[in-house]
Amino acid sequence: MDLTYTAEEDEFRARLSRWLARTLPELPPPPDPLDWPGRRAYDTGWQRRLYDAGYAGLHWPVDAGGQGATPTQHLIFLEETEKAGAPYVGANFVGLLHAGPTIASEGSAEQRARWLPPVLRGEEVWCQGFSEPDAGSDLASLCTRAWRDGDHYVVSGSKIWTSHAEVADWCELLVRTTPVSGSVPKHRGISWLAMPMDAPGITVRPLRTLAGSTEFAEMFLDEVRVPVSHRVGDENDGWRVTMVTLSYERGTAFVGEVVACRRVLGELAREARKNGRWDDAVLRRRLGHLSAEFAALWRLTQWNVSESQRTGGVPGVGGSVFKLHYSHARQELYEAAADVLGPGALDLGHPWNHDRLSSLSYTIAAGTSQIQQNIVAERILGLPKGR
């Protein structure tokens, strides 16, 4: 990958920067972090502005409604929007960063035409229905059943950690369409469905996290009818489709957050100089180490995005390397923030302290660190399973 910028890429950056400078002052104040209906309206409103300006789905293929931009342009977009303080993807996270790309990659022409344009225009929000209370990190052990009744699946079971269920229109849902038996491995009988969240039989109960947020929920499904035409991929082929979803989640969904962490690191250094903590040589070495870690993560991001483009657009197992290192680096960043703040680390109203509590979930989200280590050991290093 050539890491120098062409004249066209410099012009793209300058044009985007000018648009952000004109547009961001027009935005209303962001809503309260706990006001999810308000956050949905704010986040989808920002997405609509991106769509009208030609920046929605920048890296999606043109035939999926995207702009067909190069990987480098996509990274420039992430850098410039974060530097300018533009809103985070927020409630649009699942739809834009993994349900949408999965449908673009695995969906039929009819499914792409139905579901992708409303995501890009900020008209519909998706949630994720993967995790279950009794499956833990072993996603293939999910028990939510779906059986055929004519042109519909009838779905019963429960999900947990259902991101953005409180305000979602659609759910990317994993269900078991063939019971586990001695002859059928547990990951063979799973299907990937797009479930409308207004269907009868769905109960959503928001869960309050350690950080006080309610973006997660538990969801109960009581004979919910989902059209068979809403299945993405073949019946019982949902595990393969899910691997595509998780590749996007681990490979590209956290890229924008790396840019944000590099910004926060600079803020930590400035605050430490202001409050006297900069005199601590141990703290300075710690911040220097983190600077090197995030610089390396950005280079790894560039390599992963370039490699996914070369191999057809789906991120590879390099996403697991990124996810493993990023989750730990993020936690170290906010532990360092607590050292910089000193007694101020007890003020839960400070955004660094909120993010410190949130960072604890990153070694579980999108597959635990132990799962990422297994993937790296088996699929990159070629080590045998079970060792």
Distance between CA 297 and CA 319 in Å, rounded? Answer: 11
Residue 113: per-residue pLDDT: 94
pLDDT for res 250: 58
Give residue 78's pLDDT band: very low, low, confident or very high (50, 70, 90).
Answer: confident
Task: Provide the angle, in degrees to the nearest 10, between the axes of the packed helices 255-275 and 281-310.
Answer: 170
Q: What are phi and psi of 196, to 5 degrees?
A: -70, 130
**Tens digit of each residue's pLDDT (9 = 90 or more) over 334-368:** 999 999 998 888 877 788 888 888 888 778 776 77
Among residues 178, 203, 236, which one ends one of the domains? 236
Q: Which residue has the higher pLDDT, 132 or 213?
A: 132
Show the tokens assigned to 311.
Answer: 């191999």
Q: Three-class SS of residue 346?
A: helix
With respect to residue 100, please indicate whether it lies within any of the assigned structural domains: no
Structural domain harbouring 39? 7-90
The answer to whether residue 102 is domain-embedded is no
Give the model confidence (pLDDT) of 111-160 as tens digits. Answer: 999 999 999 999 999 999 988 988 766 788 899 999 999 999 999 999 99
The catalytic residue positions are: 249
- What CATH number is attached to the domain comprising 302? 1.20.140.10
Last residue of a domain, one of 207, 236, 265: 236
> According to the model, what pLDDT value does residue 251 have?
56
Give the C-alpha distances (Å, rounded to integers) separating 52 from 19, 57, 100, 318: 12, 11, 19, 33
What's the confidence (pLDDT) of residue 316?
63
Q: What long-range pairs does 100-103 form, CB within 8 A, spacing at least 24?
A: 100/57, 100/60, 100/126, 101/60, 101/244, 101/248, 101/252, 102/172, 102/192, 102/232, 102/241, 102/244, 102/245, 102/248, 103/194, 103/232
Within a domain: 259: yes
For residue 114, is it within any domain?
no
- Say if residues 339 and 283 touch (Cβ distance below 8 Å): yes
Higher pLDDT among residues 311 and 58, named by residue? 58
pTM for the whole thing?
0.82
Q: What is the pLDDT of residue 309?
A: 64
Q: Provide the token pair at 37.
A: 């209906």
Answer whether residue 65 shows pLDDT above 90: no
**209 and 255 inside one domain:** no
Per-residue pLDDT, 308: 67
Q: How many domains does the chain have?
A: 3
71 and 135 housed in the same domain = no
Contact 164, 188 (CB under 8 A): no
**Domain match, 374 and 255 both:** yes
Q: How far apart are CA 62 and CA 160, in angstroms?
A: 34
257 shares a domain with 201: no
Note whether residue 168 is domain-resident. Answer: yes
Q: What is the pLDDT of residue 232?
A: 96
